[in-house]
Amino acid sequence: NAGVTQTPKFRVLKTGQSMTLLCAQDMNHEYMYWYRQDPGMGLRLIHYSVGEGTTAKGEVPDGYNVSRLKKQNFLLGLESAAPSQTSVYFCASSPQGDSTDTQYFGPGTRLTVL
C-alpha cells in the first residue's frame, strides 16, 4: 500500500494563478482532510470530506475549493493564489469519522506564492 500520496511535492505560483493539489489514498478510507501548516500556527483544517461526493468547510476555507468525485481522491483548488496561501499543505485520511480513528497523512506539498 502506498498510503496517502500528494502531487505535486513543490510548486511556485505567481499571485493570481490557479492550481490544483491532488491527494490519493489506497486504504478505502471514507474521510479525507486538507490541512495547511504555517510556522507557529500548527495545522489548520481547510476542508474535509465524509465520503465520495461530499465536502465540508473546516477552520480556514476561504480562497480554497475542494472536490471528492472518487472515493480515493480529494482535490484542493486555489482559484486565484495569494501570497497568504504560501504554506505546506497536508492531506490526510481516516477510515470513518469516529473520534478514535487514526488519521494517515501524506508527505505534504510545499507551495510558494510570489
Residues in contact with other proteins by CB under 8 A are 4, 31, 35, 40-45, 48, 59, 90, 92, 94, 96-108
Nearer to other proteins, 64 or 89 (CB): 89
Q: Beta strands 10-13 and 109-113: pairing type?
A: parallel
Query: How far is Cα of residue 34 from the mean position of the Cα atoms in its chain?
Result: 3
Provide the minimum distance between the beta carbon of 15 and other proteins in the complex, in angstroms, as a whole number.
26
Judged by DSSP in three states, 84 sits in helix
Spatial neighbors of 85 by CB under 8 A, at least 6 apart, are 36, 63, 78, 111, 113
Between 53 and 107, name the residue whose CB sits nearer to other proteins.
Answer: 107
How many CB atoms within 10 Å of residue 42?
A: 9
Residue with Cβ nearer other proteins (5 or 17): 5
Cβ closest to other proteins, residue 17 vs residue 86 = 86
